[in-house]
Amino acid sequence: MPERERKAARPRKPEVEAIEEKLEGVRNLVLRCATGLLGREAVEHLVNARKELLLAVRSIIDARIQRLEEATQRLRKVEIEGEEG
């Protein structure tokens, strides 16, 4: 089978998956380099700090969603009271 036909017959990974694989490789390389420069314990603290920051952002978003839901409930109550009056 000619080279061109073999390449055409081989299914290609979707572009996104290929990019994700490359990014994972880069991430692993950066972690290895950071571990070598800073030490394992420091890198673990930095990774945990990133996680905590994301959890903090999630908490802020959850609080804002809760406020919006409470405001919506108050509006419904006003509409219902207004219709009955």
Residue 24 pLDDT: 95
Please list the alpha-helical segments (H only) found in the chain.
Answer: 3-9, 15-38, 40-84
Split at pLDDT 50, 70, 90, the class of 78 is confident
Give the span between the Cα atoms of 21 and 79, in whole angstroms: 53
Residue 34 and residue 27 in contact, taking contact as beta carbons nearer than 8 Å: no
* pLDDT above 80 (res 33): yes
pTM of this structure: 0.54
Give the span between the Cα atoms of 16 and 22, in whole angstroms: 10
Give CB contacts under 8 A, 24+ apart, made by 24-33: none
